[in-house]
């Protein structure tokens, strides 16, 4: 293993973060250790939940007053959801799921954190909307959920937690009704290969683009929404994903790609030198159209 120490400098403080380039020695340990990776990630997300709930980033208070949390791209590309059944995979604590419910979708949200699902259910009660939430690892969802949906939705920072895109594509397709569709808006994998700790605006390659099976390993003492609030140091495991891996997983599962779009804006400060526009979008400080930062895909089951 190789490691390097760095400091993530956010607006509110410093955060130590250790990145370990992990090799195939981890994979040789088998399925049991893959389950340990999932548990470690779940423990980290549960440690961070209270910080997320109270953060300006998620702005729960505004949500409770009626604020829409869905990205404008999602609203435009998904379209009218009124009266449609919608499955939200990896929903965290449900703000986007409940935003779809406010638009009259019949929603089901899934996340692997019991703590996050409990908060989602509490928020649903507070705003008075009907929503169903299920605690499940996405790879084990078939054990607890059988029905199909008009729309299967996932968004914003979900793919890096998935070691097996082929199976993910099969799961997504399995829950789409014939004539329905799958939709994802996600951070562009090309933008994720660069050093995210640099203060200057140099794009320096640091992380892998292609997934060879082994995870990247990080040790974190804070969360992306507020680096000043500390959590117990947790190890997390993430997997790089490529565009071809995502697209081929969906095609291989029998879905037809309706569109694939790329965007030169993003929803958060994923590199220290990005600048925020008046509309809350983050962009490169120069050559603003020279690199994709997000993408979206809609794929139909015929």
What pTM was computed for the model?
0.88
Residue 221 banded pLDDT, cuts 50, 70, 90: confident
User: pLDDT tens across 71-116, in order?
Assistant: 999 999 999 999 999 999 999 999 999 999 999 999 999 999 999 9
Q: What is the pLDDT of residue 14?
A: 32
Q: How many residues appear in the chain?
A: 302
User: For the chain, what is the mean pLDDT?
Assistant: 87
User: pLDDT tens across 194-205, in order?
Assistant: 988 877 878 889
- Mean local confidence (pLDDT), 137-163: 97
Q: Is the pLDDT of residue 136 over 90?
A: yes
Residue 21 banded pLDDT, cuts 50, 70, 90: low
User: pLDDT tens across 26-65, in order?
Assistant: 444 455 578 889 999 999 899 888 888 876 778 889 999 9
For domain 2-300, give the CATH superfamily. Answer: Vaccinia Virus protein VP39 (3.40.50.150)
């Amino acid at each position: 293993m190789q490691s390097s120490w760095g400091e993530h400098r956010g607006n509110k403080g410093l955060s130590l973060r250790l990145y370990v380039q992990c090799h195939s020695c981890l994979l040789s340990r088998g399925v049991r250790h893959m389950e340990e990776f999932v548990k470690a990630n779940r423990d980290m997300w549960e440690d961070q939940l209270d910080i997320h709930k109270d953060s300006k980033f998620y702005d729960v208070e505004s949500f409770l007053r009626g604020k829409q949390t869905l990205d404008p791209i999602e609203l435009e590309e998904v379209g009218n959801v009124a009266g449609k059944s919608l499955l939200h995979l990896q929903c965290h604590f449900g703000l986007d799921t409940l935003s779809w419910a406010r638009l009259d979708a019949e929603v089901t949200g899934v996340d692997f954190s019991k703590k996050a699902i409990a908060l989602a259910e509490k928020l649903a009660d507070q705003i008075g909307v009907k929503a169903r939430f299920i605690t499940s690892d996405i790879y084990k969802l078939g054990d607890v959920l059988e029905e199909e949906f008009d729309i299967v939705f996932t968004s914003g920072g979900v793919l890096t937690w998935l070691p097996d895109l082929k199976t993910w594509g099969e799961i997504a397709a399995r829950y789409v009704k014939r004539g329905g569709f799958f939709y994802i808006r996600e951070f562009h994998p090309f933008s994720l290969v660069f050093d995210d700790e640099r203060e200057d605006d140099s794009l320096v390659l640091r992380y892998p683009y292609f997934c060879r099976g082994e995870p990247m390993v990080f040790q974190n003492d804070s969360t992306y929404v507020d680096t000043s609030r500390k959590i117990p140091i947790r190890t997390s495991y993430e997997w790089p994903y490529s565009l071809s891996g995502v697209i081929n997983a969906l095609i291989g599962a029998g879905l037809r790609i309706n569109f694939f779009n790329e965007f030169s804006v993003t929803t958060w400060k994923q590199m220290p030198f990005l600048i925020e526009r008046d509309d809350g979008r983050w962009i490169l400080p120069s050559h603003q159209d020279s690199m994709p930062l997000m993408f979206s895909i809609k794929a139909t089951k015929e």
